[in-house]
Structure 1
Amino acid sequence: MKKIIVTLALSAASTAAFAHTGEGAHTHGFLSGFAHPFTGLDHLLAMVSVGAWSVRQQNAKWLPATFIGALMAGMAAGAAGYAAPGLETGIALTVALMGVLIAMAARLPAALAATMVGAFALLHGNAHGLELPQASSALGLLAASAVLVYGGSLLGRVSPALALKLSGAAIAATGVALVATA
């Protein structure tokens, strides 16, 4: 058992050879992919927001899984070289809209909520697929995304309604600022 744990830990920590050198280049291993969503405010807020908002929706247990599944599809499209038009603006708009939904404690029909969350995840996944197209970094990114979305779900469950609404307003304002700079 100890050998299996050590092997898995070393596999997760290993990175691919540096294909790109110089300033701003990403390493492309599992850990790089895992760290990536924590380093961009837009992605961090969107993922936590989806989780926090989803717990107050009908059929809430499916929304985080919908997000992760659509995130994978968007990553595959990005890794294949497809860049959605207006990608950065679209991502910033997802942050603003999620903040508004949380601030208003909006409840949507299950199908609409899943479609919206899926569309948001496609955009975020597309950006990540363009930035981190290697399989090892994609796995790390998916693991971190699951942590953020399900962590947001936990925050949504334990946060008082007023605190959640105020957080939503702050997220919406951040999203508007991100749109202005996109």
Structure 2
Amino acid sequence: MNRNISFGILIVLGFTGLSGGAFAHSGGALPSPSFITGALHVLSGFDHILAMLAVGIWSSRHGARIERWMPVVFVVATVHGAVMASSGQALPAAEIGTAASVTILGLLLAASLTLRLPVAFFLVAVFAVFHGFSHAESFADDVNYADAGFGALAATVALQAVGICLGRQIEKHQLPVLARGVGIGCIIAGIVLLAS
């Protein structure tokens, strides 16, 4: 297995493995419970996991320059959406927007579509605002929003890194069926979310 993919998988597994210890031991060098809550919020939703992997894989489809900047755009826009929610601003149809973004990402990936740079960045930024808003809106009142936000961002970056590594391997070994599989998974998850 490629070293980059192994490292990305270890990051994701590390988040899930830390959760029990962090809640059992509130002191020391372990991340705070709020950090873990934020990370697990991202890692516990199949739709979130698929969407982040899809962003990573889709980024790698656009070439090396874009694969470096697409996750940055996503993270910045996610923070913007989270700040909107935590400051009490409204985002109409946030859940519908999140579900639609998962579906559209799936369609782009399943159809092997690439877009011009400004359009790709704009789409990803809009999707990320919805995701960030939904994440922050779902945090409990007793959670430290900053810690939870950092946890959610760390998990988001880790999943996108895994997606980029997968995307590179898909391109290297000519395995478009794997990208289509993730895309179809996103489409199904998005439709289920839209229907619920």
Asked if Structure 1 and Structure 2 have the same fold, meaning a TM-score greater than 0.5 normalized by the shorter chain, the answer is yes
Q: CA deviation at 1:83?
A: 3.3
Partner of 1:13, secondary structure, is coil
The equivalent residue for 1:177 is: 192
Matched residues in 1 for 2:90 and 2:100: separation?
Answer: 17
Larger helix proportion of the pair: 2
71-80 vs 43-52, greater mean Cα deviation: 43-52
Q: CA deviation at 1:46?
A: 1.4
Alignment pair present for 1:83 and 2:90: yes
Of 6, 12, 28, the residue aligned with 1:10 is 28
32-41 vs 52-61, greater mean Cα deviation: 52-61
Identity %: 32
Matched residues in 2 for 1:54 and 1:41: separation?
Answer: 20
Q: CA deviation at 1:64?
A: 1.0
User: Quick one: which amino acid aligns to residue 195 of structure 2?
Assistant: A
Partner of 2:135, secondary structure, is helix
Of 118, 134, 137, the residue aligned with 1:130 is 137
Q: Which aligned segments of 4 or more residues in structure 1 are displaced greater than 4 angstroms? A: none
Partner of 1:61, secondary structure, is helix
The equivalent residue for 2:16 is: none
Contact 1:55 1:156 in 2 (8 A): yes
How many residues align? The count is 160
Of 32, 46, 50, the residue aligned with 2:37 is 32
50-59 vs 72-81, greater mean Cα deviation: 50-59
Matched residues in 2 for 1:166 and 1:39: separation?
Answer: 20
Q: CA deviation at 1:154?
A: 1.2
97-106 vs 55-64, greater mean Cα deviation: 55-64
List runs of 5+ in structure 1 lacking aligned partners.
Answer: 1-8, 16-28
Q: How does 1:58-77 map to 2 (within 5 A)?
A: 58=63, 59-77=66-84
Deviations 1:126-177 (A, max 9, x none): 1112223611111111111111111111111113112212331232122112
Matched residues in 2 for 1:35 and 1:42: separation?
Answer: 13
Contact 2:57 2:167 in 1 (8 A): yes
User: Quick one: which amino acid aligns to residue 173 of structure 1?
Assistant: I
Q: How does 1:19-168 map to 2 (within 5 A)?
A: 29-58=34-63, 59-132=66-139, 134-159=145-170, 160-168=175-183
User: Quick one: which amino acid aligns to residue 10 of structure 1?
Assistant: G
Contact 2:106 2:185 in 1 (8 A): yes
TM-score between the two structures when normalised by the length of structure 1 = 0.81
Contact 2:47 2:186 in 1 (8 A): no
List runs of 5+ in structure 2 lacking aligned partners.
Answer: 1-26
User: Quick one: which amino acid aligns to residue 169 of structure 2?
Assistant: V
